[in-house]
Amino acid sequence: MSLALFSVISSLGIPSFSRAAERPNIVMAFADDWGCHASAYGRLNPGGLDDLVSTPHFDSVAEQGVLFTRAFVSAPSCTPCRSSLLSGQHFWRCGSASILQGAEWDFDIPSYPLLLESAGYRIGHTYKVWSPGTPVDAPHGGSARGFNRSGRKFNGFSQNAMKGDDPDARKADLLDEVRGNLLSFLDPNGDQKVDGEAPFCYFFGPTNCHRKWVAGSGEKLWGINPDDFAGKIPPYLPDVPVVREDFADYFGEIQAFDAGLGVIINELKRLGVYDNTILVVSGDHGFPGVTRGKCNLYDFGTHVPLAIRWPAGMKKQGRVVDDFVSLPDLAPTFLEAAGVSIPNTMTAKSLIPVLESEKSGLVDAKRDAVFTGRERHVAAAQPDFTPYPQRAIRTDQHLLIINFAPERWPMGSAPGYGEPATRMPNVAQWREDTMVGFRDMDGSPTKTWIVTHRDSDPKLFDFAFARRPRVELYDVQKDPHCMKNLADNPESQPIRQQLESRLMSELKRTADPRVSDNVIFESAEFTKPYVRKKKK
Average pLDDT rounded to a whole number, residues 295-319 = 97
Q: Nearest Cα to 253, choosing from 126, 158, 128?
A: 158
Q: How many CB atoms lie under 10 A from the CB of residue 3? A: 6
Residues in the chain: 536
Tell me: pLDDT of 16 over 50. no
Structure confidence at residue 423 as a pLDDT band (50, 70, 90): confident
Average pLDDT rounded to a whole number, residues 284-293 = 98
| In contact, 404 and 391? CB cutoff 8 Å | yes
| pTM of this structure | 0.95
Q: What H or E segment, with its residue span, contains residue 307?
A: strand 303-309
Tell me: pLDDT of 4 over 50. no
Structure confidence at residue 12 as a pLDDT band (50, 70, 90): very low
Alpha-carbon distance of 163 to 160, in angstroms, equals: 5
Alpha-carbon distance of 480 to 457, in angstroms, equals: 22
Average pLDDT rounded to a whole number, residues 413-428 = 92
CATH superfamily of the 25-364 domain: Alkaline Phosphatase, subunit A (3.40.720.10)
Widest pairwise Cα distance in the chain: 73
Give domain limits for the chain. 25-364, 373-522
The residue ranking higher by pLDDT, 70 or 432, is: 70
Rg (CA), the chain: 22
Dihedral angle of Cα 30, 34, 40, 41, to the nearest 10 degrees = 130
Average pLDDT taken over every residue of the chain: 94
Alpha-carbon distance of 382 to 91, in angstroms, equals: 21
- Tens of pLDDT, residue by residue over 311-342, are 999 999 999 999 999 999 999 999 999 999 99
| In contact, 420 and 428? CB cutoff 8 Å | no
Alpha-carbon distance of 343 to 11, in angstroms, equals: 9
Q: How many CB atoms lie under 10 A from the CB of residue 284? A: 29
Alpha-carbon distance of 76 to 511, in angstroms, equals: 20
User: What percentage of residues in the chain have a pLDDT greater than 90?
Assistant: 93
Alpha-carbon distance of 52 to 62, in angstroms, equals: 18
Q: DSSP 3-state assignment of 504?
A: helix
**3-class DSSP string for 451-498:** HHCCCCCHHHHHHHHCCCCCEEEEECCCCCCCCCCCCCCHHHHHHHHH
What pLDDT does 533 receive?
A: 64
The residue ranking higher by pLDDT, 29 or 432, is: 29
Tell me: pLDDT of 163 over 60. yes
What pLDDT does 18 receive?
A: 37
**Helix, strand, coil % over all residues of the chain, rounded to 5:** 40, 15, 45
